Amino acid sequence: MGIVVDINKDREGGQKPSIDALQRLVGEDLQRVNQHILTNMQSPVALIPQLASHLIAAGGKRLRPMLTLASANLCGYTGTRHIGLSACVEFIHTATLLHDDVVDESELRRGQESANAVWGNQASVLVGDFLFSRAFQLMVADGSLQVLKILSDASAIIAEGEVLQLMTANDPQASEEAYLEVIRSKTATLFAAASRVGAVVADRPNIQEEALESFGMNLGIAFQLIDDVLDYSAKQAQLGKTVGDDFREGKVTLPVILAWRRGSEEERDFWRRTIERLDQTEDDIETAIGLMTKHRSLNDTVERARHYAAIAKDSLGIFPDGDMKAAMLEVVDFCVERAY
C-alpha cells in the first residue's frame, strides 16, 4: 500500500491550494449554521439528537453548506436566509450518509465507527428519515417554493443515483458514462443545488443561478472522482483513513473501469473474481493498485477530474473578481490537489 500517485511533476510550484481562505470568509456564517443545525436536530426522542450529533458533530468539512454561504456572499446577499438553508443542505447530506452507510454496510465513517455500527441499521434509517423531513420543515419555514423545488428535485435525483449505483454495482464492465451518471446524481447534484440556492436567496438573474449551479455540479464531479482515487491512494493512508474500502465492497469506480478497459484478459479475470464475485484475499488490494498504476488509471482519473474542475472555474467567469471568487476558485483546486 506504499504506492503514491505520481503526477506531481505536472503541477506548478508554489503554495498548495487549500480550503482555508473560504473557511475564513464564511467562518462567522458557518458558526451560525452549526448553531442552527444543533438547535434543529433536537427532538424529545433522545436517540435522534444522540445519533445525529454523532455524525454531524464529527464534523467533516461542511463543504456543501459552505457552498451555499459562498454563493450567497458572491451574489452580494446580506440577509440571513442562507443560514437556515445551509443547515437544510447539511441535513439532506447527513440523511443520505446515514442511509448510505446502511446500504453499504459500512462500519466506519469519517474515521469513527459509523452510526449504523453503533446504533444499528434501524435507527440509522429512521433518523435519516427524520433529518430529511426536518430539512423540508426548514425549507417551508424559509418559505421559498423556488428553493423547495431545487432541493426536492435534487433529493429525488440523489435517490435515483443511489439506486442506479446499486444496480450497476460489482460490474467492472460498466461504462465511464454510466459511472459519471451515478456520481453526477448521487454527489454532484447536491453540490449544484447548494450553490444555486445561494443565488436564489440573493434574488439574482437566472444566468447567475445557472452559473453557480454549473460551478457546484462540476466541482461535485471532480470532488467525487478524487474521492474515488483517494480510496486507492497512499494519501488516504496518511490521512488515517482505510485504503481499499471501495475495492472490498466491489464498488466500480473510474479507476477500476479504466484498469479493466486497458487490461489484458488475465487481468480482467482478476477484476471478475475480486469485484464481480467479491472473492478476495488480503493481497488483492496490492495487486489492484499495481494494475491501476501500470495502466495509469489513478492518474488519468485525476486528469478527468481536472477537466471538470476547469469547467467549474470557468463558470464563475461572469462574476467580478474579489476575495470570495478567489476563495471559491481555490476550493476547486483544493478538491483536485488533495489527491496528492
Query: Which one, of 271, 289, 268, lies nearest residue 280 by Cα?
Result: 271
Angle at 132 between CA 123 and CA 228, to 5 degrees: 85
- The reply on whether position 145 binds a copy of itself by CB under 8 A is yes
Number of H-type helices and E-type strands within the chain: 18, 2
Decide: helix, strand or coil at residue 260: helix
What letter represents residue 230's amino acid? L
Among 2, 13, 14, 143, which residue sits at the site for a copy of itself (rule: CB under 8 A)? 143
Among 4, 140, 239, 278, which residue sits at the site for a copy of itself (rule: CB under 8 A)? 140
Neighbours of 129 (CB within 10 A): 13
Among 125, 180, 311, 326, which residue sits at the site for a copy of itself (rule: CB under 8 A)? 125
E-strand ranges in the chain read 108-109, 112-113
Q: For the CB of residue 174, give the shortest distance to a copy of itself in the complex, in Å.
A: 14
Among 23, 32, 132, 284, which residue sits at the site for a copy of itself (rule: CB under 8 A)? 132
Instruction: Output the CA torsion 311→93→162→270 (10° steps).
Output: 80
Among 3, 7, 38, 163, which residue sits at the site for a copy of itself (rule: CB under 8 A)? 163
Distance, in Å, from the CA atom of 55 to the CA atom of 106, rounded to the nearest integer, reads: 14
**Site size with a copy of itself, rule: CB under 8 A:** 41
Q: For the CB of residue 107, give the shortest distance to a copy of itself in the complex, in Å.
A: 16
- The reply on whether position 339 binds a copy of itself by CB under 8 A is no
Contact indicator for 59, 90 with CB cutoff of 8 Å? no
Among 18, 23, 53, 121, which residue sits at the site for a copy of itself (rule: CB under 8 A)? 121
Among 66, 123, 190, 197, which residue sits at the site for a copy of itself (rule: CB under 8 A)? 123
Q: Which residues bind a copy of itself (CB under 8 A)?
A: 43-48, 96, 99, 102-103, 121-123, 125-127, 129-130, 132-134, 136-137, 139-140, 143, 145, 148-149, 152-153, 155-156, 158-160, 162-164, 166-167
